[in-house]
Amino acid sequence: MNAKNSKSTSVRDRRPLTLALLSLLQFLIAIDVTVVNVAVPTIGAHFHAGASTLSWVVTGYTLIGGGLLLLGGRLTDLLGRRRMFLLGAGIFALASLAAGLAPNLEALIAARFAQGAGEALASPAAMSLIALLHPEPAERARALGIWGAISASGLVVGVLLSGALVQLVGWRWIFGINVPVVAFVLLATPALVRPDGPRRRDHRLDLPGAALLTSGPLLLVFGVLRHSVPAALGGCVLLGAFVVVERRTKSPLVPLSFFAHRTRAVANAATVPLSAGLSTTFFLATLYLQNVLDLTPLQAGLAYLPFCAALLVAVAVVSRIIRVLGSAYASVAGLLLTAAGLGLLARLPDRGSLWVDVLPGMVAVAAGMGVGLIALQNAALSDVTDADAGTASGVQRSVDQLGGSLGLAALVGGAVGGTAQVGDFRAAFAWAAAAVLVAATGVFLALGKR
C-alpha cells in the first residue's frame, strides 16, 4: 500500500514538469501555424513561385494536421499516449529539418505536410495525457489553461520570430530552430511520462475514414480559394462520404455515438467558428498592418504584443472563471467577447490607426479566445476515460484546426487576391463576428440551463 501511495505521489510531483514538457512541443506546433506568414514573400522570391502555389505552404500544414488528428487520437487510444507523442515529435523534427533544407518549393510543401502529420500524432497524445493526469474539472481547467496559453502564445511568437529570423539569418531557420528543441523533448519524455500499458489489439484502424477526412477539406479549401465550384462540391461530397463510412465501419475513427454526449458535441461545434475567428484575425490584421498601415514585417509582429498580453491575462484567470460560472457560461462569455472584438475590426477604416482602430478589436479577440477556447476544450473533454481520452482530444484538436482553415478560406477567400480592399476585410470580420455570435447563442441554449 505504501509503495502504491509513493508511486502515486511521485506521479503527482512530476505533473508540473510533465505539463511544461507537453506544452513545449505544442508551443512549437503552434509557432509553425503562423511562422511562415511573414516569410512567404521571401520564400516565393527564392523559389520564383506565385501566390497561389505559396498558399499551400501556409494551409497545407494545418489541413493535413487537422485531417489526420482523429486518426492520431485513435492511434493514441490503441497504441499508447507516450508512444504516439514520441513518434509524432520525431516526425515533426525530421519534417522541420527537411523543410529547412528543401531544395525546391515542392519539397518544402511536402515537408509542411509531414509536419502536419507529426502534429496529428503528438497533439492529441499530449492533450489526453494532460486530461488523465488532471482528472478533477477545476484542476484540468487550470492545466488546459496553461497548455492553451503556451499554445496560443506560440501563434503570436510565430509572427514575431518569422520577421526577426527572415531579416537576420534567413527564412530556412524558421524551420531549423525546431530541431534542437524537439530533440530535448524526445530525450526528456521517457523520464517524465510513465510507460504505456500493453497495446490494444482488439480494434482495426479506419484508414478510409482518415483518407476522406484529409482529402475532403483539402479539396474544399482548394475550391474556395480558386473559386472552383466543382472542387468545392467535391470536397463536400468527400466529407459526406466520411460520415457514411463512420456510420458503417466496425472500427470508426470516432464512433458517431461519441457525439451523443451533448456537452462534447456542442463544445466541438462551437469551437469551429471561434477558431475561424482567430484565423481571420491573424491573417487579415497582418495584411492590414503591412499593406494599409505600411508597417515592416518586424513592426507588424511587434504590434501583436498587446494581443499576446491580453491572451496571457485571460488564460491566467480562466480556471477561476470556469470554477465560478461553469464551462458552459464561461464559453458563452468568451464567445461574446470574441464576437465584440471581431465587430470592432469590422469597422476598420480605409486608412486607420494601430492604437485606435486595430488594437482594441485584437485585444478583445485575444481575451475572448483565451476564455472561450479553453472553456470549450474543458467541456469537450467532459467524462473522458482512459479508453476514449485520445479520441476526445483528437476530435477537439481536429475541429479546432479544420475550423480555422476552412473558416479562413470561406471568410477571406475574396480578400486574399492581389486587389484586396479594406472593404473585403470589413465584410470578412463581420461574417466572423456573426458566426461566433450564433455559436454563443447555441451554447447558451443547449448547455446554459443544465
Per-residue confidence band for 1, with pLDDT thresholds at 50, 70 and 90: very low
Q: Tens digit of pLDDT for each residue in 232-290?
A: 899 889 988 988 888 888 778 777 777 777 888 888 889 989 988 887 887 788 778 87
Phi-psi map region of 178: left, alpha, beta (phi>0 left; psi -120 to 50 alpha): alpha
Q: Reply yes or no on whether the pLDDT at 419 is more than 60.
A: no
Count structural domains, the chain. Answer: 1
Q: Reply yes or no on whether the pLDDT at 450 is more than 70.
A: no
Task: Determine which of 160-174, 231-245, 434-448 has the lowest per-residue pLDDT on average.
Answer: 160-174
Residue 196's CB: how many other CB atoms inside 10 A? Answer: 15
Position 50 scores a pLDDT of 65
Q: Tens digit of pLDDT for each residue in 66-115?
A: 788 778 877 887 888 888 999 999 999 999 999 999 999 999 999 999 99
Of residues 107 and 450, more confidence is placed in 107
Position 202 scores a pLDDT of 54
Of residues 156 and 111, more confidence is placed in 111
Per-residue confidence band for 412, with pLDDT thresholds at 50, 70 and 90: low
What integer best gives the mean pLDDT of the chain? 81
Phi-psi map region of 72: left, alpha, beta (phi>0 left; psi -120 to 50 alpha): alpha
DSSP state of 421: -
Whether 94 is covered by a domain: the verdict is yes
Which CATH number characterizes residue 409's domain? 1.20.1250.20
DSSP state of 256: G
Whether 209 is covered by a domain: the verdict is no
Whether 352 is covered by a domain: the verdict is yes
* List of residues 6+ apart from 342 with CB closer than 8 A: 277, 280, 281, 361, 365, 429, 430, 432, 433, 436
Whether 439 is covered by a domain: the verdict is yes
Whether 173 is covered by a domain: the verdict is yes
Q: Reply yes or no on whether the pLDDT at 6 is more than 60.
A: no
Whether 338 is covered by a domain: the verdict is yes
Can you tell me the distance from the alpha carbon of 90 to that of 65, in angstroms, rounded to the nearest whole number?
15
Whether 306 is covered by a domain: the verdict is yes
| Alpha carbon separation from 149 to 7, 123, 146, 313 (Å, rounded) | 30, 15, 5, 9
Whether 216 is covered by a domain: the verdict is no
Give pTM, 2 decimals: 0.76
Task: Give the mean model confidence (pLDDT) for residues 399-425.
Answer: 70
AA letter at 274: L
Q: Tens digit of pLDDT for each residue in 322-363?
A: 888 888 899 999 999 999 999 999 998 888 888 888 999 999
What's the domain range around 111?
A: 13-195+253-447
Q: What percent of the chain has pLDDT over 90?
A: 20
Distant-in-sequence contacts of 36-41, Cβ < 8 A, 24+ apart: 36/61, 36/112, 36/162, 36/174, 37/158, 37/159, 37/162, 37/282, 37/283, 37/286, 38/159, 38/162, 38/163, 38/166, 38/286, 38/297, 38/300, 38/301, 39/162, 39/165, 39/166, 39/171, 39/174
> In this structure, are residues 338 and 274 in contact, taking their beta carbons and an 8 Å threshold?
yes
311 HSE (CA, 13 A, CB side): 25
Position 416 scores a pLDDT of 54
Name residue, grid cell 515529435: 89
Per-residue confidence band for 3, with pLDDT thresholds at 50, 70 and 90: very low
What length is written for the chain? 450
Position 237 scores a pLDDT of 92
Residue 51's CB: how many other CB atoms inside 10 A? Answer: 12
Task: Give the mean model confidence (pLDDT) for residues 224-231.
Answer: 79
Closest-CA residue to 226 (of 402, 51, 58, 66):
51
Q: Reply yes or no on whether the pLDDT at 7 is more than 70.
A: no
> In this structure, are residues 343 and 433 in contact, taking their beta carbons and an 8 Å threshold?
yes
